[in-house]
Each structure stands twice: as structure tokens, then as C-alpha cells.
Structure 1
């Protein structure tokens, strides 16, 4: 299994470079090559539409068959997990496809069996649950940042394959994706968030600390794969230096891994609108409170220049 996100980037001349170092010509060449190899927008949009159409078919099959699916998203900070989850669930019903993005555990939850709060979010029949981060927090950020004890960590590594084997044997279809991003691309994305008021909230102290702890996270990921990449629930690595490629590759693989079928649906026809009733009178507008017309203010006075 490749560990592309842990490789040290090299310049065009083969010299090793690190994020932040000057490498003008190498960086330009790399940027140019990346742009050249990037999927055209029209091809991307067409394929994304096709895949999302298949996801709707999958959703119908899940409801009909009573299937239970769990999809785990893990990976580096700023690796593109959130954007992929958004495209994966964009046209699915929230009653069928739920996103579980659990916050920091409370003091009570810290005293529970570690997997307990995650078990509460597992799917019932006819449901898909997407874990935006999961029980693998213990193998990553908790391990690196010292939020768990060595004993808790070793127990996690020993128990997780058993826990997942139980889920699979009970009929849950479990898919685990690790989003791999290079250190230079991660740093570029962090920098872009600094000046973006819509995405600044994505930068936490833990995210920023991950820059200095790159190799620590690499070792933690490698050890996690050794213990938890098992036949019953293998890990799938998604290379995500190009976000659009990562989205298409992940969704395509996910669909190919589920044995769903096209469920015939009854043809839907809109009924004719009934004739107006002679007994209904709409109440005066003054009796209701309407939202102010903010758009009118933006458009200004249309008769001003007449």
C-alpha cells in the first residue's frame, strides 16, 4: 500500500525540497504539470453528475434492500474530505444518508467504552452513515497529541479489527477511505484559508500544529494501517492533491464496491390542478409578517434613471 502523503517532495532536478523553501523553477514546473494533468471542468461536471445519479440509484436500493452502509473518511487535515462528503451526499435524502461528525467527547463520554458513542450512530436497515472522522481519531490525533494513554492506544489497535469484524459479520457494509495529500499542497491549502473569511473557521490549533508534526502523523498512519488494514475491512487510499480527481475517484470506487441494483420505480405524473374554489378568500397581506425585501435594496430604484 502506497504512502504518497509521506513522501518528501523533490524538485525537477531531483533535489529534495520542503514546503517553505525557495524552489522557484521547480515549483513553477510542478504547478504547470498539475494544471496540465487536471481534468477539464466540463468533463468533471459531466462525470460528477453521472456518479451522483448512480448514488441516487444506490439510495433507492439501500431503502428497498434494507442494506446498512458505513463510510469512514479519514486523512490529513485539509486533504479534501469535507468537499468529497458534500458531493457524495448532495442529492441524497438526509433520512437515508446521515453524516456523523462527532465533536470532542464530553467528560461522561470519556468514561464510556471508547466505541460507545460511535455505535450510537451506526445505521439501521435502509440507511447510509458517513463518518467525517471516526473511531480512528485515537490512532491519529489522539496518539500524536497525547490525548490518550499508551495503554488506551494499544488496546485500540488490538480491539479495532475485532470491533470491525463484528460489524461486518452483522451485515454492515464498511468502507474506509484515507485521503492522502502532500505536505506542500496541505500547506498551500492552509495558507489559502487564512485569507478566506468563509473558511477561516476550518483552521484550528490542531490543524496548525499538524504542520510541525508531519512526520509524527505519518508514523501514526503507517502503524494504523499495519494493524487495521484487514481483509474484512481494508483501507483504500485516495490521492487528493487534486481535489476534483479525488472526489471522482472515491465516489466511483465506492459505487463499484457496493453490489446494488437498479430498482424499478413507478412512473410519476403530475395531477391536474383543480378548478379554483368559489368559497376561498385569501386573508389581507397586512395580517401576516413578511420577510423584508432585502433584494430590492440591492437592486436599487429601477425608475431612478427614467
Structure 2
């Protein structure tokens, strides 16, 4: 049966609205000086055109829905770890992964600093409750690798604790894999210059200043310390059961697409046959009269 022109117009409007929502996530209008804008553009390689970016992103998000359906129907358990330098783009790719997924299936874990009680526990203990049950995907926006990075560099963990972490984490991750968890680890890498520019953009953009913390600013001062910590982390935790994958993040759009494509390639999901959905007819009660609600219950129309 062919759709009527009216229904097609309605559908096109809905699709346009969805596209506008995607566009809104991409648009950034920081209150930067024109000079800073020129500096950023002159030092940044050309990125994908917006149209080409969305032409690639939307099919990938469609595949993520298939992945979600497969995980839910087969009872799989998936953990994806996102690590990297501050402002490297971890949050951006996580948003695009979760944007169209069911939050009951796919959830993000971004833990705050440990409490006094948690500091006395087995180091991995605070992460274990957030691991997935059957039919769940968990994305860790930073993870137990805090100990190998910020905690080590900033002095929140001593060398003995760091050494114990390096001894424990390979076996911890092997245990996760043996339990049936699909574990994938990403490190988002950016250059010194790119991080500096992104920090400057955050400083001058009131809508992004919340992303900057004293720890972020210290990461600029201790860039080389973080580099050395990262190199040892790779050397000691890149195990066959859970290898590291590095995402080059200087180009945000390409990094998002590359990471999502890689994630889909590394999980053996299959298309799950769905029951055909039919909208049932509404039941009308001729004796029911809808009540008029008080006007103060309504949100004022301001737009």
C-alpha cells in the first residue's frame, strides 16, 4: 500500500526534526575571539563535511541498534572501556553510541572520586557492581585504569599500590573474559597542540567550562608524566584476552566514526528477527467525558 502525500509530509517532518536534533549535538558556538577561531582553523586539518559525517554516522547507529538487539536477545554481556587524555573525545563518541540505544540495555558508568570507605576496599571493588548482567552493554567513561593514570601522576596512589594494580589487572580482566564478558578497551590519543586548543575553547565557552576541572588543568602541566604513565600501562596491560586499541582523536568526527565502526567489527553480533509491529485500534468509550483540568497545571507557552 502506498503512503498518501499527507503521511509522507508528516514522516519527512519527523525525520527533519530528528536530523535537527542530531545537528544540535554537533553545533558549537563558543564565545571565542575571532583570533582564537583563526588560530584553531589554521592549525587543524580539514574535517569531514557535515553531510558526509551524518551519511556515515546514521548507518553506524543503525548497526548499533542491531548490536543492542542481539545482546538483549542472546543474553550477552559487553564492557567497553574508554580511556585517554582529557579533551581527547571520549565523551563525544560515547554520546553517539548511546544516542539511539535503549538505556535499559546500554548504560554509561562515570564514577566520581572514591569515598573514604571505598579507598579502604579492594581496588576493583567499586567497579564490580557496575559490570553488566546478561543482555547489557556497559560503557566505562574512565575505569579502573585511573590508578595507572591520574592517581599515579597526581600522587593519589603510591608506587606500591600502582605496582599491585599492574600485577592484578591482567588477571582481573582475564576473569571478566572467562565469565563471558566481551571486553574492549579504547585509548583516545590527541596531540599536545590539539589538547591545548580544546582547553582554550572550553575556557572561553561558558557552556563547556564545566568540563574543566583542576585535574584537567594539571594534566597540561604534567603532559610528559602522563605520557610515561600511558606507555607503561600499554606495556603491562595489553594482553591477548583484552588488548588496547588506540583511536587517533585529533579529528573528532573521524574518531567517532572509526571507533564505532571498529566496535561493531569486533563483536560477532547478528541480526535478530523482530516480530512485526502493528498499531492496535484505539478503544473508544462513548460514555466517557474528558475532564477539563485547571489551567495552573499547564506549563506556560513561552515559545
Normalised by the length of structure 2, the TM-score is: 0.85
Q: Give the conservation status (yes or no) of the 8 Å contact 2:188–2:247.
A: yes
Residues 43-54 of structure 1: matches in 2 within 5 Å? 43-54=52-63
- Which of 239, 259, 276 is 1:230 aligned to? 239
Per the alignment, do residues 281 and 209 of structure 1 end up closer, same or farther by CA in structure 2, a change over 3 Å counting?
Answer: same
Q: Give the conservation status (yes or no) of the 8 Å contact 2:40–2:197.
A: no
Deviations 1:243-299 (A, max 9, x none): 00000000000000000000111111212233x42211122232761112222xxxx
Measure, in 2, the Cα distance between the counterparts of 1:142 and 1:30: 32
Q: Can you give the 5+ residue segments of structure 1 that lack an aligned partner in the other structure?
A: 1-25, 296-306
Q: Partner residue of 1:77? A: 86
Q: Give the conservation status (yes or no) of the 8 Å contact 2:81–2:142.
A: yes
The reply to whether residue 279 of structure 1 matches residue 287 of structure 2 is yes
Q: Partner residue of 2:267? A: 258
1:285 aligned counterpart, secondary structure = coil
Q: Can you give the 5+ residue segments of structure 2 that lack an aligned partner in the other structure?
A: 1-38
- Which of 190, 208, 213 is 2:217 aligned to? 208
Measure, in 2, the Cα distance between the counterparts of 1:114 and 1:265: 42
Structure exhibiting the larger radius of gyration computed from Cα positions: 1
Residues 158-197 of structure 1: matches in 2 within 5 Å? 158-197=167-206
Q: Partner residue of 1:4? A: none
Per the alignment, do residues 147 and 291 of structure 1 end up closer, same or farther by CA in structure 2, a change over 3 Å counting?
Answer: same
Measure, in 2, the Cα distance between the counterparts of 1:138 and 1:260: 32
Deviations 1:44-66 (A, max 9, x none): 10111000000000000001110
Measure, in 2, the Cα distance between the counterparts of 1:95 and 1:271: 25
Higher share of residues assigned helix: 2
Residues 88-107 of structure 1: matches in 2 within 5 Å? 88-107=97-116
Deviations 1:5-55 (A, max 9, x none): xxxxxxxxxxxxxxxxxxxxx987643xx11xx222111101110000000
Residues 131-170 of structure 1: matches in 2 within 5 Å? 131-170=140-179
Measure, in 1, the Cα distance between the counterparts of 2:104 and 2:251: 31
Q: Partner residue of 1:41? A: 50
Deviation at 1:179, TM superposition (A): 0.2
The reply to whether residue 118 of structure 1 matches residue 127 of structure 2 is yes
How many residues of Structure 1 are paired with residues of Structure 2 in the alignment? Answer: 266
Normalised by the length of structure 1, the TM-score is: 0.84
Per the alignment, do residues 116 and 67 of structure 1 end up closer, same or farther by CA in structure 2, a change over 3 Å counting?
Answer: same
